[in-house]
Amino acid sequence: MESLNNEKNTLSVEKTRVLCDVESLRSEKTKMASDICLLNKRKSVLESDIESDEKEKSKLGTELEFFGKEKEQLQSDINLLDKNKRGLQSAIGVLIKETTMQGNCIENMNSNKAVLEKDIELLNSEKAIIASELELLNKEKAITASEKIQLEVDVELLNQEKDRLHIDVELLEEEKDTLHKVLSEEKDEFIHSAINEVNEKVVARDYQELWEAQQELIKQMESVKVTRDTVIGVKRMRGESGDQVLWNFRDKRRATLKEVISFQVHRTDK
């Protein structure tokens, strides 16, 4: 009996312990269920985060590739810009030298400006003097205006006189031409008459008189020097006789009395 009581007590204690354990397990179960729920939620969140991270990773990979290309382009641009920078630095150096030169030029121009200002002051003084002289010249101009009018009148009168003289000259020229024409006609008529008269006399005279006339003409023309331009002259014939004859040097033949007389008349007129 006592053994049963002990066993009963033991079982009661064991029951109490078991109940405590059960209660503890229930509490732990509840806690674990809560933890599992939280873990599931966290798992879902993590899965979602992982999926998002995968997408982000893919996006970042694409962007990284793009940035790699962009980096290469930027590096190329940097190299080009660096080259341009060196060129600009060189140009800046040239511009600095040019600026220095321009500064020197400006300094020289300022010096020239000071000189020019002095020159302008002198010119203004001379301008005042010239203005005074111009006033005097204007007065003289007014005085000479009337003289100019008188000179214009005189010039007009001289022009009229010149026109009258031109008319007189034209009339004299016409008269001169008329006289030349009349004299030429009279000269031709005289020559024609003289030739006809000589021809008639030659026909009427005998051979002796013709020969004597030729000899007389030869004597008259012996003094005329024969040149390249000679048309009628005296020529000594070749041979034993060596006679002198009247010769037409242009046609290379003996000259007729008509040609000789005509030549003599023209020479006398000259």
**pLDDT tens per residue, range 2-35:** 777 777 788 888 888 888 888 888 888 898 888 8
Rounded Cα–Cα distance for residues 127 and 133 (Å): 10
CA nearest to 227, candidates 249, 242, 245, 244? 249
Q: How many residues in the chain? A: 270
Token readout for 143 is 């005085």
230-259: b (≥16 Cβ within 10 Å) or e: bebbbbeeeeeeeebebbbbeeeeebebeb
Name 207's bridge partners. Answer: none
Average pLDDT, the chain: 80
Q: How far is CA 56 from CA 5, 46, 68, 98, in A?
A: 72, 14, 17, 57
Give the CA diameter of the chain: 235
Q: In the predicted model, what is the mean pLDDT of residues 100-115?
A: 88
Give yes or no for residue 110 having a pLDDT over 80: yes
**pLDDT tens per residue, range 131-152:** 888 888 888 887 877 777 877 7
What percentage of residues in the chain have a pLDDT greater than 70?
83
Dihedral sign (CA 180, 181, 184, 185):
negative
Give yes or no for residue 39 having a pLDDT over 60: yes
Q: First-to-last CA distance in the chain?
A: 211
Rounded Cα–Cα distance for residues 74 and 80 (Å): 9
Residue 82's pLDDT is what? 87
pLDDT band of residue 70 (cuts 50, 70, 90) is confident
**pLDDT tens per residue, range 180-237:** 565 566 556 655 665 666 556 555 555 677 777 778 888 877 777 777 777 888 888 7
Give yes or no for residue 64 having a pLDDT over 80: yes
* Helix or strand holding residue 253 (H, E): strand 253-254
Residue 162's pLDDT is what? 78
Token readout for 263 is 């030549």
Q: State which amino acid sits at residue 252.
A: K
